[in-house]
Each structure stands twice: as structure tokens, then as C-alpha cells.
Amino acid sequence: VTLIAAIVPAAGSGERLGAGVPKALALLAGEPILAHAIRALVAEPRVGLVVVAAPPGLESQMERTTRGAAGGVPVRVVTGGATRVASVSAALALIPTDVAVVLVHDAARALVPGQVVAAVADAVLAGAPAAVPAVAVVDTVRRVGADGSSETLDRATLRAVQTPQGFSADVLRAAHARTGSTATDDAGMVESLGHPVTLVEGDYRAFKVTTRMDLLLAEALLADSGEAS
């Protein structure tokens, strides 16, 4: 019985990266971003299934990339949707009903450390309906109103949320069964059903590779850790 399944939404265009290919296939230290993300997930030994949502037309290419990085863990690939929520829903439909815990991890967070994946999994296996990694916010953040006025928020009360986000499979299914959600992540959807979201310690290395500058930072981190060899 697979204890934990991982869903990897990788169907975004990655326009902000400007690599000319969908972001998950952009190369980071000579390998697709997706391959790094898959390796980070399957380093968690309790992950027994990986389901990737791929852009239309790139399913078989992403399947090869994922299989190559998954170290023998079973892999499924689905066609993603127009939004991240739609991509996660499509992947969720392939998760067998006997899977207890689902992790949802952005392909773009390619360098998430193993202890973050483990901490999220541990929290959900211990009974949390939802658990997300979070880090302190380094910038001072202002809230801007419709009239252009703005106010400083108390930075000490803010956290930036990363992935993988972990869920009891039933709770995630219920959240995705509700249509019309405007949440920007799965935890937000689960929260709107009234479930608490547990925060675990995130890591700045789990940052989302979004821009060219992020790619340079990720290359530097890999070189520094010796993983790029």
C-alpha cells in the first residue's frame, strides 16, 4: 500500500523565466528543473507514487524525465489544466483511494531539502488535515488599497508559504470537489472548508524558481552543495 503520493504540477508556461520551454523543462545545472524536483521528493522513502501534470503535448517527454529521476518509484503523467488548481485536480484523479497522504509540490521548487518534505509528511501522518512549510518574510510588506493608499504590515506576523504542501487525501479531494475557488494554493482551498493548516519549518532553498535570477541562484546553490557534479 502506498502511504504517500506526490503530485507535481508542472504544466505552467514559465513565461517569466523566458527559457523558451515550459519552466519544468528548463535546464538547471544541465538537467530539467522537473528532474531536480522529483529527486527531492523521492528522497523521502515514504513517497510511493509520483503524479506529474504536464503541459499538453509534453506528457511523454515529462514522463521520461520523471521516470529517470524517480529511482524506481512508480510514475504517472496527466495533462495539466489552464490553472494550477486544474492541474492538481487532474493529477488527484489518478491517486488511488487507499493512499492516505498527498503531497503537492511545485516543480519549480526544485531544491527543497529532504527535511522539509519529511516534516510536512510527518505532520499529516500525525493527524494534521493540512501542513505547509513556511519561512519568515525578509522584506517589509505593504498592503495596497484600491485607492492606491498603502500601509505597512507587521512583518513579524507574516510567513511565506512553500511546497510541498501535505494533506489527508480525503480533505484534499473534498477541497478540489468544490468549484470556484480563488485560492492560490491547495492549503488555501482546504482552509476555506474550515480545516486548520499546520505550519512546519520551511527552508529558503525551497524557493520557487521563477526568474532568470532565481535560476542563477539555484545553480550557485547546487555548485555549493556539490550536487551539480
Q: How far is CA 70 from CA 36, 138, 165, 184, in A?
A: 10, 34, 19, 27
Output the smallest distance, CB 210 to ligand C5P, in A. 6
* Nearer Cβ to ligand C5P (83/115): 83
Contacts for 223 with CB less than 8 Å, ≥ 6 apart: 29
* Nearer Cβ to ligand C5P (122/214): 214
Q: Which three cell numbers stand for residue 17?
A: 523565466
* Binding-site ranges for ligand C5P (CB under 6 A): 9-12, 23-24, 53, 80-84, 87, 106-108, 208, 210
> Residue 224 burial (CB < 10 Å; 0-12/13-18/19+)?
exposed
* Nearer Cβ to ligand C5P (125/205): 205
* Nearer Cβ to ligand C5P (24/120): 24
Phi, psi of 132 (to 5 degrees): -135, 145
Q: How far apart are CA 215 and CA 224, in angstroms?
A: 14
DSSP 156: G
Output the smallest distance, CB 135 to ligand C5P, in A. 17
Q: How far apart are CA 36 and CA 190, in angstroms?
A: 28
* Nearer Cβ to ligand C5P (68/81): 81
